[in-house]
Structure formats: structure tokens, C-alpha cells
Structure 1
């Protein structure tokens, strides 16, 4: 399902190295927090970082030319030579829990958490969509647990995958013993159910939150660019371990979301990354929540 072991390892090394280099070169990041209600849940979008990738068709528009990608960017009124991605996390406050979904790379996340009025030790649970460093790198700070009282939850295949990644060895060592796994599709915490989203990593999941009649779906890395991923969801993505399966999942998920009009959180869309997917002819567009 995920291609050959060799090609998968190459993709993983490329994605991890690329993210590590990109974030290492970032200037200090500005914190940000945006609060809203979802039924009885208090939700806060937290800003961690952002990075800018050149339009070189190595990540977006793989197999296409930079000119093809530039045409899509220009049509949306965006710069044609670069692609900017935000890195954000989601905080969910329930009566007896404070749940953090993903931890970014460890840029401004802790400052954003403080801006929202919380301390790292307040976090009771950390839910990980997948183990790329821009989603679980913030689990560790100065070699220690960044959220010392939290149970870390991720899918069983993703934890197995993370433990085999030498580039995550320091993070894995620090969090080992604090991780509880689940099978994709399982309810992880009351009101939060995991959703398997294949193609990006072996255990990549999103999280469906429901309180009363209100829902919010954290779609993880099903999409990255709020422009390219929606205008051309059929284009391969360099970060996906299996481009064909990733494309299938992306298109299927976008069609479903456009039909349901469900509120979503996309951690790489412009902060705060909360809004709706709409159909736009034969493709899709992003409508930020007001």
C-alpha cells in the first residue's frame, strides 16, 4: 500500500531533512492564538511557525514545471516564486482535560500557549496526527518533555513508524513510556475520534471533534497549501510517502468536506487555519471562518 521500503525511506528522509533545514533557518516566530467555541468545548488555534518554500516543483507540483505551479499561484493573487506554509496546533479545553493536537516544530508554540492563558503542565493529553518533525518536534524542549504531565497519544502504526526513524531518535527516547496508542478510527478521548487518512505516513490520522450538534475536523496533513492543494489536489506531493494513495485520500476528503460544509482545521493553512472547503468548478477553494 505504501510502495517499496526503499522508496518510502527515501521519501521519509527527504521530508524530515527538508523540514529540519527549513525550520532551522527560520527567524524567531511570532506567537498567536485564536479562541472560539465548539458546543461546550473551548478551542484555541495556536501558532507555532511558518516557513517559505521556493517554487521548485520538488514538493508542490511534482512532475510539473515551476511555471505550471506559478500559474496556479498567480491565479490566486499569490507570489509566483514561493509557497508559504503556516505551522499551527489546536488546543481543546474540556471540563477535566486540556488537549493539544500536534506540537509543531517547537517554534512559538509555548509562547502561544501562554498567550492563551495556559502553562505546559496544564496539558493533560497530546494527540499526534503523524510523526513528521513539524508535528511532533515540539514534544521535547531542551531534551525534556515539553508537556510533562501529558499522555501522548498517536496511532499504533505511526508510533511503530516513528521508532524506526533514526532522525526522531532523541524525541522517541524522551517520550517513550508516555505514549498510548490506538487504532485509526478509534475514539481517543470523549468527543474526539481518530480518522485514518492514508498516503502521507503509515499511521497518519485526523481528529473529528464533536460537541452537541457542532463538529470540527482536524485534517492533519491531508492538504498543505491553501492554494495549490485545493486548486490541483491531483498533483503529487513530495511529502507523501505514497503519492497515489495521498492523492486519492486528498480528493476524496475534499469532496466530502465540500459536500458536508463541515468546519475544519488545517494546520498548514494561513493562521488560524479554521474554515470550510468549497467546490469551485472541478476543484476546490478555501473559505476562512469569520
Structure 2
């Protein structure tokens, strides 16, 4: 069953209030954004270097609570030619962190009619647990194609051999969980990793490029076909990053470089007009970037029903 046949469901599964997948056509390439759920995290992680008064004003202006809110978790499935590509793999299950509203990817792929056994490639923007954990859920590896290729920057794999958490601002428990998950993932999927240095074409019109910043091997994925373009920016862009691209995300291992990467990507997106999808933008996270004075502005697309 192809993506285009499954992306506009008649109704959501019984336990879902709203649809959890959204389809976009990029020329001849099918793109499906799938929600892995949400992460309830402290608001102070979103711009922890900001002036507290300015930070509070931004939250209030966005009608967000002052203490914690739900960060979206978006994953993308791309169909190019005879390849089905999963970009990131969601959180999976980590009972120690008590995040029951995340880790929904596997069942939502099933609801979309996407058979894990037909996935030919996985691209990882980076190896934080909310991007690799879905592949560590019990029984998932056995359902994957034995020749599955997992594309990830060599710098990312190297980083997680001895990760540096000295510049992050995470809730307690997260550094240990991130470290343990990355180690387990590298061990279980070592033979299927396909490492690249700076840029790699995964399939016709699907190119992954290392940006660094968020993590040393953090990467974005560009999809191009005909006149259409879309970038999946992973964790390089988050909700406050348009108005305040210099505000740090608590999960950034090199926040200064991450801010520079964010500005560069937003400028590129504003100039080209291509679509943007990002992991932690509100679902379905499909929109454009516009220049707004000295900053940027997020312009969501009109939903296509």
C-alpha cells in the first residue's frame, strides 16, 4: 500500500481525538508527516538563556502556560521511486522517564498501512532517544527488512562514544537516558549503519546534510522533485526560534553553533520559499519561513483535506 493511498484517513483510530498523519506531495515524491505524540517538558528549556521577563512575555503572547507545555514529536516517511525512507524513529518506550503520550510511531505507521518490512532506508537527523527509540521497541527489529540501511553522520556516531553534556540544560534523568539509548542503538544496529561525512543522497531527490550544532552530527534532509522543495530540519528549528533564533534549546550540545545553524537555515528557507517540517514544531509542522524585520516568521500552510 502506497503512502498516497493512506494519508487521508476517513477517521482516526478510536483512541485519537485528531488525525496523526498528514500527506504532502513534493513533485513525484510522497511525504507523510506522522506524529509520534508529545513530550511534556519545562518551558524554561525553550530559551533558557533569554531574559526571564522577555521569555515570560513570549509564552504569554503564544497562549502557552508558564511552567510546562507539550513539545510535538514529528517523524517523516518519504517514498521516492522504489525506496521507502523513514526519517527519524520517534521515542519508543522509556518507562523511567514517564512519557506515556510519546512513542506512538509504530502503531501509527501500522494505522497508515505502512509495513515496517518494506522500509528500505532510515535516516537519522541525530541520535537523541526521541529520534532512535522507536527502533528499539521490542519486536521492531525483527520486523524490519534484513537489508535495511540506516544513514547517520559519522560525527554523530563518534560523539556518542563519549558524549559531552557540559553545555545542555536538561531535566534530571535525561542525560543518562540519552547516553544509554544511543549506546544500545549503536550496538544493536552497528552492521546496518551507513555513515556519511557531510552530505549523502539517500534516494533520487532525497539528500541528507550534516549541520552540526544541536549535536555534532545533527543533519537535515532535503526533498526535491520538479519545482517543489521541502526540508526536514530535525531539531535545528523549534517554535520560539523564528522570533528569537538566538534563544537556546536545553537539548543543544553546542548552543552557540546551534543558533548559527538555525539562522542560516531559516535564511535559506526564507529565500527559497521551500516547505519546512521540523521535529518539535506543532503537528503537522508544514509551513514556510518569512523574514520579519530582523527576525523570522512562521507561516503554516492551509491544511489540505
TM-score over 0.5 (shorter chain) = yes
Q: Is residue 57 of structure 2 the alignment partner of residue 71 of structure 1? A: yes
Instruction: Judge conservation of contact 2:80–2:204 (CA < 8 Å) in 1.
Output: no
How many residues in Structure 1 have an aligned counterpart in Structure 2? Answer: 259
Instruction: Judge conservation of contact 2:84–2:119 (CA < 8 Å) in 1.
Output: yes
Which runs of 4 or more aligned residues in structure 1 lie more than 6 Å from their structure 2 counterparts after TM superposition?
Answer: 28-31
In structure 2, the residue corresponding to 1:136 is in which secondary structure? helix
Alpha-carbon distance in 1 for matches of 2:270, 2:68: 27
Distance 1:146 1:154, change over 3 A: farther
Deviation at 1:164, TM superposition (A): 4.0
CA deviation profile, 1:247-274 (whole Å, cap 9, x unmatched): 1111121122122211111111111111
CA deviation profile, 1:168-202 (whole Å, cap 9, x unmatched): 22222211111111122232322111222221111
CA deviation profile, 1:229-284 (whole Å, cap 9, x unmatched): 21111122221111111111111211221222111111111111111112222222
Q: State the TM-score, normalized to the length of structure 1.
A: 0.83
Match of 1:258 in 2: 270
CA deviation profile, 1:206-228 (whole Å, cap 9, x unmatched): 0111112211111111112x2x2
Match of 1:191 in 2: 205
Instruction: Judge conservation of contact 1:230–1:285 (CA < 8 Å) in 2.
Output: yes
CA deviation profile, 1:20-47 (whole Å, cap 9, x unmatched): xxxxxxxx98871111211111111111
Match of 2:156 in 1: 158
Match of 2:12 in 1: none
Match of 2:251 in 1: 239
Alpha-carbon distance in 1 for matches of 2:247, 2:143: 37
Instruction: Judge conservation of contact 1:51–1:85 (CA < 8 Å) in 2.
Output: yes
Distance 1:182 1:146, change over 3 A: farther
Alpha-carbon distance in 2 for matches of 1:267, 1:280: 23
Deviation at 1:288, TM superposition (A): 1.5
Alpha-carbon distance in 2 for matches of 1:63, 1:288: 27
Instruction: Judge conservation of contact 2:34–2:76 (CA < 8 Å) in 1.
Output: yes
Structure 1: runs of 5+ lacking an equivalent: 1-27
